[in-house]
Each structure stands twice: as C-alpha cells, then as structure tokens.
Structure 1
Amino acid sequence: MEVRQVGTLTFQLDFSQPLYEQILEQIRSSLAKGEIGLGEKIPSVREMAHALKINPNTVMRAYKELERDGLTEKRRGQGTYITTSEERVKTFRSELVKEYIDDFLNKVESLGYTWEDIEGYMYEKGTGRKGGDLK
C-alpha cells in the first residue's frame, strides 16, 4: 500500500483494488470525519491524477460519483468544491454510519451470533459493565 499526499488530502492506495473506489471512499471518509471543510476546494482532476500517478479518467470517475452524491459541486472556471450544504453532509454521515452498522451486523450474524450476543457485547463495551461475551 502506498501513501500519497495531495494538498491537504492523504491517500493510501492499494493497486490491487479499483483506484476510483479508493479515491471516492477516502474523500468521503475525510468529509465525514471533518478533515475537509464545507466549501473547500479539492485538487483538479489533472492535479490529483498527477500527484497520485494515475489516469485522469480514474479521478474523473470518482469526482463524478461525489458530485452525483451531492458532496461536491463544480464551479465553472474555478474547480471542484466540497458542498456548502451542512444538511447534505449530516445526511451523508447518517447514511454512512447506517451502512457501517449494517455491514458489521451482517458479518457478525454470518458467524452465527444472535442479536442478543451482539447486544450484550456492545453493552459491555459501551458501559464497562458485565454484559455478554462473544464466545
């Protein structure tokens, strides 16, 4: 895995995985964590591709997906910016956490654990009290 810095953004690239998905996911994650501010300009497609040493079409694909999600907006002649809509980012963060929780629950349930097992373990971790153990 290679780490590359592009402006204020840091990317970890695994060349065995689709690059556009990694760019997309890492920008989404930075936005959700507040590492990228509302209205912040992101590098141009050309700048990003050059810095990451990848094809500009790969970056363009990720940027189009971000725009389709309403997370970025193009400003004619100025570049691409993170949305200024605080509400859109809040909605995105809520959707993302639900996706992570669903993924987690599906994985744990596929191991044969019941909701009661999961709930007991989560309770224990969240409060420090004796709950349940995943055995």
Structure 2
Amino acid sequence: MVHLDPAAHGPLHERIAAAVRRAVADGDLPPGARLPAARELASQLDVNINTVLRAYRELSAEDLVELRRGRGATVRKGADRARLYDLVDELLAEAARLGVSRGELAGILASRS
C-alpha cells in the first residue's frame, strides 16, 4: 500500500509521508481507509518505528490523516481533496508573484477546460 520511491531523496520520514500523500491522491487510500500500523510499516520498509510515527504526525498536522491512540491512523474525510487545495494555494501564490490577478487566473483556467 505504501511504497517508497527508490529514486527519491530526502529524509525517510518525508519520503514516507510523500508516499502516503501519493496513495491518497491516486485513490489507493480513500477517505476512511486505515493506514498500516506504524510497527508493521516500519518492518515492511525496514526503518525505525519512530521514522514512521514522525511521518504519520506530519500527515496528521496537515489534516490528511487522523491519529487515534490504540486505533491507528485513518485517512480523513475530504483528504482526497486536500492535495487539490494545496495546489490551488501554490497556484495563487505563483500567480501573485507573476502579477497575474485572480480574474486573469480564472480566465486562464476557464480557457483550459
């Protein structure tokens, strides 16, 4: 369910979090799905359990997953759209940096559909 990209670089916890984000975005982990137990995933990936827990905490801080003691981590409802909102925020910031107004940006988006 969660696979690390062997070509990716960076800290392991960030790579694990990115793999979960990708699985959510691809629909492999729909809202309500339970993530593997931290101990199980750590064993599967051959990493320290604290590395997995750190990734899960990062995802929880992003409101992508919900952590419950004794019940594990589950994908939050609406998490499948969380990435979309992040991309919109990035697009708005980039448009502002380039001096493109929201109206112009809306026109650009409308012409692309």
Q: Secondary structure at the match of 1:42?
A: coil
What amino acid is aligned across from residue 37 of structure 1 in structure 2?
Answer: P
What amino acid is aligned across from residue 81 of structure 2 in structure 1?
Answer: K
Indicate conservation of the 8 Å contact 2:64/2:82, yes or no.
Answer: no
Structure 1 match to 2:86: 95
Whether 2:82 is the aligned partner of 1:75: answer: no
TM-score (norm 1): 0.59
Indicate conservation of the 8 Å contact 1:13/1:19, yes or no.
Answer: no
Supply the RMSD in Å over aligned alpha carbons. 2.8
Structure 2 match to 1:55: 48
Unaligned runs of 5+ in 2: 96-111
Give % identity: 33
Measure the CA separation in 1 of the matches of 2:61 and 2:23.
18
Name the structure where strand makes up a greater proportion of residues.
1
Indicate conservation of the 8 Å contact 1:66/1:72, yes or no.
Answer: yes
Structure 1 match to 2:28: 35
Whether 2:19 is the aligned partner of 1:26: answer: yes
CA change 1:97–1:17 in 2 (3 A) is: same
Q: Secondary structure at the match of 1:43?
A: coil
Q: CA deviation at 1:98?
A: 4.9
Detail structure 1 runs of 4+ shifted over 3 Å in the superposition: 13-16, 96-99
CA displacement, residues 44-85 of structure 1 (integer Å, 9 cap, x when unaligned): 1111111100111111111001111111112342211111x2
Unaligned runs of 5+ in 1: 1-7, 106-125, 127-135
Q: Secondary structure at the match of 1:20?
A: helix
Measure the CA separation in 2 of the matches of 1:14 and 1:58.
19
Aligned counterparts, 1:6-17, within 5 A: 8-13=1-6, 17=10
